[in-house]
């Protein structure tokens, strides 16, 4: 792993983007601030319409912010046109030039930068090798497959050695198997080139597997920024918990806060410890989240945090999902990894105890 | 029956189609046949001969008018295509704005205003300029042809631009191409078939024009169509048929040539 110094490649400072005017105006981005570190694989994750593509377009220069600054290594690039920014984009539709060959496509950026012919050729050859497309360099872009077009688009954007590479849902047009391959390929490319990647996706699995850090976005705001593990284990808001993975939401009451952790009382009366989002000092009624695989089941009720009735058991090969109904009527799902030959007496319609361990619960901001 | 509603199986369809084709092409076929008539009549057959082609070829008025037609057509097509390309870029490469519809209407005005009105208007307008400048060359005809050819060149170019992915130009800008280089390296090469189509169409339209030319031309500025019209007034011979036949072959050749050029580019 290349070391990741705390130097910021991109700083987005209080950026807003408002489309339309008067009554019909829509804030695609609402005072968004985020810092993206050098050499980082950073993902903007969110549902469609959350503003992630707008933010990418602002960094690329295809659109200009209504307010705020975008700093590239400290220099404000927000007013610059795209051709003056040392930032390149991999487009969702690839946008390869149909009247040029694969090699001409890859060399285009260098040519526009006025590099000497010999340097362009050497760099194009290196890029072709990097994305394993040497054999097809003389082909037209219409004569190669979707996966190959994807590689050419990557090589074309990487060839001018941009300070930051922007990727706008580049894998969404590929089939499942190819997408998996390209995920690993992208990680390899980022590792080998040492370029900062900003990746936009709505696919949470893609975000979790590839990113160093993720920013979860919704309705023009960034809700949480953190490592995949942070985002998954310690979601700060209900939206984040809901959007990424499966979640159980429980109503609880705060009975004490100390050292960044809280003690909360569940509806069953049991008190359990719960972690807190950064900067939150909760009081009164809160919602906590428990991931289905972070809770355990026991056939006996004693010592359990909650008790419930088994409504449904879904066997999925690698693991089993237990759909439970709690005493207060709320649903609760527990996921357990399967091993061979287990029979633990948990049956549909039976009563079970649910254990929520010391580090399984997280208090949400909302 | 699966294709019960197919128009091909409607009663009378074949008859109507055949009638349409006969009405369209039979007169042309007759015209071409009588171009080879040895007699002086355009309706009575007097044996096979190339003599009217020879006679047309030796008629300096025909040659003059033809060359003039080509000269006007080529220059007018070129200018109108340049203007049409700029207009098409300006009306497709921006976000829709108020007044855009009005601009479409303004550009396509020559398609809607009766030619006779434009003809009279230009006659009066140009006569003023003639008085002030004393110039009475081919410039007036070229200007007039350029003006009414613009919408014909504009339509195929705009159609091509609208089918072109804007992301390509964005990608070029992203790869450090200035707006001008983006145009030269991306937009123009991809737009080329549309521009060629516009150019050909403008040329053919200019070649064919009678009404506006008749009003605008000065003495001795006959184009081929106005010359032919003048000849018919003075009694018609198969020479006209011969000229028309050559004209027809030329048009077909241009269209065919263009078809193959655009096919290869795609």
Tell me whether B166 touches chain A (CB under 8 Å). no
Q: Which residue has the higher pLDDT, B43 or A292?
A: A292
**Contact at CB, A88 and B175, closer than 8 angstroms:** yes
Is 90 exceeded by the pLDDT of residue A267? no
- Confidence grade of residue B14 (pLDDT, cut at 50, 70, 90): confident
User: Do the Cβ atoms of A60 and B174 come within 8 Å?
Assistant: yes
CB within 8 Å of A131: residues ≥ 6 apart: A151, A152, A154, A155, A185, A189
H-run or E-run covering A32:
strand A26-37
pLDDT digits (tens, 9 = 90+) for A79-125: 899 999 999 999 999 999 999 999 999 999 999 999 999 999 999 99
Tell me the mean pLDDT in the region B164-188: 93
pTM for the complete prediction? 0.81
Measure the CA–CA gap between A161 and A157, rounded to whole angstroms: 8
**Per-residue pLDDT tens over the stretch A80-92:** 999 999 999 999 9
CATH 3.90.1170.10 fits B59-265, yes or no: no
So what's the pLDDT on residue B45?
Answer: 84
CB contact under 8 A, B175 and A99: no
Whether A4 has a pLDDT exceeding 60, the answer reads no
Query: What pLDDT was estimated at residue A167?
Result: 95
**Residue contact A89–B171, C-beta within 8 A:** yes
Tens-place pLDDT, residues A35-75 = 999 999 999 999 998 999 999 999 999 999 999 999 999 99
Whether A61 sits inside 8 A of B173 (CB atoms) is yes
Which of B165, B175, B189 is closest, CB to CB, to A160? B175
Cα(B246)–Cα(B57) distance, rounded to whole angstroms? Answer: 11
> A8-233 with A246-363: one CATH topology?
no
The per-residue pLDDT for B1 is 46
CB contact under 8 A, A93 and B167: yes
The answer to whether the beta carbons of residues B151 and B107 sit under 8 Å apart is: yes
A 139-168 residues with CB below 8 A of B? 156-157, 160
C-alpha to C-alpha distances, A40 to A7, A96, A187, B256, nearest whole angstrom: 10, 26, 11, 57
Residue B7 has pLDDT above 50, yes or no: yes
User: What's the confidence (pLDDT) of residue A287?
Assistant: 92
Which range has the worst mean pLDDT, A10-19, A48-57, B7-16, B62-71?
Answer: B7-16
Q: Beta strand A75-76 with A67-72: parallel, antiparallel or unpaired?
A: antiparallel
Q: What is the mean pLDDT of chain A?
A: 89
Banded pLDDT at A357 (limits 50, 70, 90) = confident
**Which A residues 68-97 touch B at CB under 8 Å?**
81-84, 87-89, 91, 93, 95-97
Q: Which residues share a beta bridge with A363?
A: A288
| Residues in a beta bridge with A221 | A218
Establish how many alpha carbons lie within 13 A of residue B84's alpha carbon, considering only the half-sphere containing its beta carbon.
Answer: 35
% of chain B residues with pLDDT over 70? 95
Q: What are the boundaries of each domain within chain A?
A: 8-233, 246-363
What is A77-142 written as a DSSP string?
-TTS-GGGSSEEEE-TT----TTSBHHHHHHHHHHHTT--HHHHHHHHHHHHHHTT-GGGTTSBGG
Q: How far apart are CA A202 and CA A218, in angstroms?
A: 11
Q: Give residues with Cβ within 8 angstroms of B187, minimum separation 6.
A: B89, B164, B169
Q: How far apart are CA B70 and CA B143, in angstroms?
A: 15
Of B167, B181, B190, the CB nearest to A112: B181
State which H helix or E strand residue B104 sits in.
Answer: helix B100-107
Measured between beta carbons, which residues in chain A are less than 8 angstroms from residue B168? 95, 97-98
Tell me the C-alpha distance between A274 and B114, whole Å.
82
Looking at residue A1, its pLDDT comes to 44
Region of residue A302 (phi > 0: left; psi between -120 and 50: alpha; otherwise: beta): beta
Task: Please state the rounded mean pLDDT for residues B1-29.
Answer: 81
Contact status, residue A83 vs residue B174, Cβ threshold 8 Å: yes
Q: Give the residue extent of every domain in chain B.
A: 59-265
Instruction: For domain A246-363, give the CATH superfamily.
Output: Nucleic acid-binding proteins (2.40.50.140)
Cβ contact (<8 Å) for B175 and A108? yes
Asked if residue A267 lies in contact with residue A354, where contact means CB atoms within 8 angstroms, the answer is no
**Of A229-238, A342-351, B151-160, B226-235, minimum mean pLDDT range:** A342-351
Top-level class of domain A8-233: alpha beta
Tally the C-alpha atoms within 13 A of residue A88's C-alpha that lie toward its C-beta: 25
Inter-residue contact A248 to A234 (CB < 8 Å): no
- For range B54-72, the mean pLDDT: 91
pLDDT at B42: 73
In B, which residues are within 8 Å of A62 by CB distance? Answer: 170, 173-174
Helix, strand, coil share (%) of chain A residues, nearest 5: 25, 35, 35
- Give the best residue of B169, B174, B181 to mutate against chain A (max A CB count within 10 A): B174
Of these ranges, A192-206, A275-289, B40-54, the one predicted with the greatest mean pLDDT is A192-206
Q: Return the pLDDT at A278.
A: 83
Grade residue A26 by pLDDT with cuts at 50, 70 and 90: confident
Report d(CA A222, CA A52) in Å as an integer: 9
Q: Does B171 touch chain A (CB under 8 A)?
A: yes
SS3 at position A355 = strand
ipTM over 0.95: no
Q: For B158-174, what is the mean pLDDT?
A: 91
Q: What integer best gives the mean pLDDT of chain B?
A: 88
Give the chain A residue nearest B179 (alpha carbons).
A83
Half-sphere exposure of A156 (CA within 13 A, CB side): 33
Chain A residue numbers with beta carbons less than 8 Å from the beta carbon of B185 are: 108
Q: At what angle do helices A117-130 and A176-193 cross, to 10 degrees?
A: 130
Question: Per the CB < 8 Å rule, is B174 touching A113?
Answer: no
Q: What integer is the mean pLDDT of A169-195?
A: 88
Distance from CA of B169 to the nearest CA of A (A): 9
- A95: closest CA of chain B, how far (Å): 5
pLDDT (average), residues B36-45: 82
**What confidence category does residue B40 fall into, taking pLDDT thresholds of 50, 70 and 90?**
confident
- Whole-number pLDDT of residue B4: 60
Q: Can you tell me the distance from the alpha carbon of B212 to that of B199, in angstroms, rounded to the nearest whole number? A: 20
- Report whether B243 contacts B56 (CB < 8 A): yes
Of B237 and B150, the structure prediction assigns the larger pLDDT to B150
Strand, coil or helix: what is B63?
helix
pLDDT band of residue B107 (cuts 50, 70, 90) is confident
Q: Does B175 touch chain A (CB under 8 A)?
A: yes
Identify the sign of the CA torsion A329, A331, A337, A342. positive
HSE-up of A123 (CA within 13 Å, CB side)? 21
**In the beta sheet, which residues pair with residue A315?**
A320
Instruction: Count the Cβ atoms, other than its own, within 10 Å of residue A255.
Output: 11
What percent of chain A shows pLDDT beyond 70?
97
Structure tokens at A241: 């918990």
Count of H helices and E strands in chain A? Answer: 8, 20
HSE, side-chain direction, 13 A CA sphere, residue A340: 0
CB B182 within 8 A of CB B87: no
Chain B 181-210, CB below 8 Å of chain A: which residues? Answer: 181, 185-186, 189-190
């Amino acid at each position: 792993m290349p070391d990741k110094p705390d130097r910021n490649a991109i700083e987005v400072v209080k950026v807003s983007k408002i489309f339309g005017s008067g009554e019909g105006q829509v804030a695609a981005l609402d005072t968004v601030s985020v810092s993206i570190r050098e050499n980082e694989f950073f993902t903007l994750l969110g549902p469609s319409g959350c503003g992630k593509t707008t933010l990418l377009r602002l960094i690329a220069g295809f659109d200009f912010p209504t307010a705020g600054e975008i700093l590239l290594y400290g220099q404000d690039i927000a007013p610059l046109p795209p051709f003056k920014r040392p930032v390149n984009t991999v487009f969702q539709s690839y946008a390869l030039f149909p009247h040029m060959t694969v090699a001409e496509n890859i060399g285009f950026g260098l040519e526009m930068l006025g590099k000497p012919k010999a340097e362009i050729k050497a760099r194009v050859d290196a890029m072709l090798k990097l994305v394993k497309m040497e054999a097809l360099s003389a082909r037209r872009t219409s004569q190669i497959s979707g996966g190959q077009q994807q590689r050419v688009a990557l090589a074309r954007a990487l060839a001018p050695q941009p300070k930051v590479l922007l990727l706008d849902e580049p894998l969404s047009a590929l089939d499942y198997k190819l997408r998996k391959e390209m995920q690993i390929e992208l990680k390899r490319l980022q590792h080998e080139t040492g370029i900062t990647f900003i990746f936009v996706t709505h696919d949470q699995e893609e975000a979790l597997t590839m990113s160093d850090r993720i920013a979860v976005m919704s309705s023009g705001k960034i809700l949480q920024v953190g490592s995949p593990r942070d985002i998954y284990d310690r979601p700060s808001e209900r939206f984040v918990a809901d959007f990424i993975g499966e979640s159980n939401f429980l109503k609880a009451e705060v009975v004490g806060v100390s050292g960044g952790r809280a003690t909360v009382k569940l509806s069953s009366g049991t008190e359990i410890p719960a972690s807190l989002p950064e900067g939150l000092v909760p009081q009164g009624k809160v919602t906590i989240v428990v991931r289905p695989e972070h809770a355990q089941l026991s056939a006996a009720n004693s010592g359990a945090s909650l008790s419930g009735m088994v409504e449904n058991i879904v066997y999925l090969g690698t693991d089993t999902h237990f759909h439970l109904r709690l005493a207060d009527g709320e649903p609760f799902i527990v996921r357990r990894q399967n091993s061979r030959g287990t029979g633990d007496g948990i049956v549909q319609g039976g009563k079970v105890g649910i254990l929520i361990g010391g580090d399984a619960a997280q208090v949400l901001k909302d | 029956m699966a294709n019960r509603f197919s128009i091909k199986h409607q009663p009378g369809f074949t008859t109507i189609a055949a009638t349409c084709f006969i009405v369209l092409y039979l007169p042309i076929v007759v015209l071409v046949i009588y171009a080879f008539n040895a007699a002086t009549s355009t309706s009575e057959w007097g044996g096979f001969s190339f003599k009217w082609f020879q006679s047309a070829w030796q008629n300096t008025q025909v040659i003059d008018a033809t060359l003039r037609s080509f000269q006007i057509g080529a220059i007018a097509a070129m200018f109108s295509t340049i203007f049409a390309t700029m207009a098409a870029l300006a009306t497709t490469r921006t976000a829709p704005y108020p007044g855009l519809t009005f601009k479409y209407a303004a550009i396509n005005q020559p398609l809607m205003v009766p030619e006779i009105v434009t003809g009279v208007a230009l006659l009066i307008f140009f006569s003023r300029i003639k008085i002030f400048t004393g110039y009475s060359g081919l410039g007036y005809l070229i200007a007039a042809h350029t003006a009414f050819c613009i919408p014909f060149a504009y339509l195929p170019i705009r159609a091509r631009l609208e089918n072109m992915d804007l992301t390509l130009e964005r990608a070029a800008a992203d790869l450090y191409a200035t707006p001008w280089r983006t145009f030269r390296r991306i937009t123009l090469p991809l737009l080329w078939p549309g521009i060629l189509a516009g150019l050909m169409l403008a040329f053919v339209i200019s070649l064919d024009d009678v009404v506006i030319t008749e009003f605008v031309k000065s003495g001795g500025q006959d184009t081929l169509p106005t010359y032919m019209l003048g000849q018919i007034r003075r009694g018609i011979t198969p020479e006209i048929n011969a000229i028309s036949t050559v004209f027809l072959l030329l048009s077909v050749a241009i269209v065919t040539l263009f078809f193959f050029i655009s096919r290869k580019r795609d």
